[in-house]
Amino acid sequence: MTSSGAAPLSYQWSKNGTAISGATTSAYTTPITTSADSGSQFTVAISNSHGTVNSSAASLAVQAAGQLTASATNLNYGNITVGSSSLLSVTLTNKGASSVSISNVTLSGAGLSIGGVSSGLMLAAGSSAVLNVTFAPSASGTLNGSVTVTSNATNPTVTISLTGTAVQSLSHSATLSLTSNSSNVTGYNVYRSSISDGPYTRLNSPLVTSTTYVDSTVIANQTYYYVATSVDSAGDETLYSNQVSATIPTP
């Protein structure tokens, strides 16, 4: 839009018939607009000593912008053993009418890493991308983290909270007390089965010479059945003792 006439010229811009405060120069730049501004009418009144002339109206067209949504706002890993890892995913979808450009993906929290979505990714209208977040703790503790996706969408940041607990692995064992019924015992053999009454497998080599045996090869949430024998100085071995059982807790 151009103007001419005897100087000095003064200007007053209006939006939908209402004067815009401070818009008194020959050019006018709108502030950031939204879809609600589409169709607004802008005019300018130009004045000098001879009078005032109103321009024809210019209609503003606002292109619909992209809108980024996440399929979840929280990812909960539950209990994760230190030294292991767990991957959870969230789907990012552009529900707007124009493309969305992702400028940054940032993480907050220890032991976290991401994949599938990175800065520079362009999502066309209606398209989606899967963001993978892996929690691999190196020390025990509570995770209160987040992943934030920054873009040029109408909602410039999307934040997903990340929660979980890193726990140390527990080692279990079963301790057996061994008692001889003879003074000529030089040691013991310990046998184990996962089935009551066997068949049994010998656990020790060489002979157990103390009156206590610790089985450190047990697995959580399993029941084991044990018998023992004693061996005398001649190398003779007795029959199996009475069977005992041990149920290993979880975790």
Q: Quick: pLDDT tens for 102-144.
A: 999 999 999 999 999 999 999 999 999 999 999 999 999 999 9
Residue 40 and residue 55 in one domain: yes
Query: What contacts 46, CB < 8 A, 6 or more positions away?
Result: 3, 5, 9, 10, 11, 52, 53, 54, 55
Choice among 55-69, 75-89, 219-233 with the minimum mean pLDDT: 55-69
Residue 4 has pLDDT above 70, yes or no: no
Residue 180 and residue 197 in one domain: yes
Please give the structure tokens belonging to residue 15: 């939006």
Query: What contacts 221, CB < 8 A, 6 or more positions away?
Result: 248, 249, 250
The reported pLDDT for the residue numbered 5 is 64
Work out the average pLDDT over 85-108.
Answer: 94
Residue 211 and residue 239 in one domain: yes
Which domain CATH number covers 219? 2.60.40.10
Query: E strands of the chain, at which residues?
Result: 10-15, 18-19, 41-48, 51-54, 58-59, 68-70, 74-81, 86-94, 100-108, 112-115, 122-123, 128-135, 141-151, 157-167, 174-177, 185-193, 201-202, 212-215, 223-232, 244-247
Task: Yes or no: say if 126 and 97 are a contact pair by the CB < 8 Å rule.
Answer: no
Residue 110 and residue 36 in one domain: no
**Residue with structure tokens 């059982």?**
245
Residue 223 has pLDDT above 90, yes or no: yes
End-to-end CA distance of the chain: 76
What whole-number distance in Å separates Cα of residue 198 and Cα of residue 245? Answer: 12
The reported pLDDT for the residue numbered 63 is 65
The reported pLDDT for the residue numbered 169 is 79
Contacts 24+ apart (CB under 8 A), 115-120: 116/89, 117/92, 117/149
Whether 123 is covered by a domain: the verdict is: yes
What whole-number distance in Å separates Cα of residue 24 and Cα of residue 161? Answer: 47
For 136: left if phi > 0, alpha if psi spans -120 to 50, otherwise beta; the answer is beta
Instruction: Give the pLDDT band (50/70/90) at residue 8.
Output: confident
Instruction: Give the pLDDT band (50/70/90) at residue 25.
Output: very high
Whether 152 is covered by a domain: the verdict is: yes
Work out the average pLDDT over 7-27.
Answer: 92
Q: Identify the domain boundary among 116, 139, 167.
A: 167
Instruction: Give the pLDDT band (50/70/90) at residue 78.
Output: very high
Strands 74-81 and 157-167: parallel
Residue 182 and residue 228 in one domain: yes
Choice among 55-64, 148-157, 196-205 with the minimum mean pLDDT: 55-64
Report which of 64, 68, 55 is spatially closest to residue 27, judged by C-alpha positions.
55
Q: Look over the chain and give the mean of its residue pLDDT values, rounded to a whole number.
A: 92
Residue 219 and residue 187 in one domain: yes
Instruction: Give the pLDDT band (50/70/90) at residue 37.
Output: confident
Whether 162 is covered by a domain: the verdict is: yes
Whether 4 is covered by a domain: the verdict is: no
Residue 32 has pLDDT above 80, yes or no: no
Work out the average pLDDT over 28-48.
Answer: 85
Whether 5 is covered by a domain: the verdict is: no
Residues forming beta bridges with residue 19, ordered by sequence position: 14
Whether 110 is covered by a domain: the verdict is: yes
**In the chain, how many domains are there?**
3
Between 2 and 223, the higher pLDDT residue = 223
Q: Identify the domain boundary among 113, 145, 167.
A: 167
Helix (H, G, I), strand (E, B) or coil at 146: strand
What whole-number distance in Å separates Cα of residue 51 and Cα of residue 45? Answer: 10
Whether 3 is covered by a domain: the verdict is: no
What is the span of the domain harbouring residue 217? 174-247
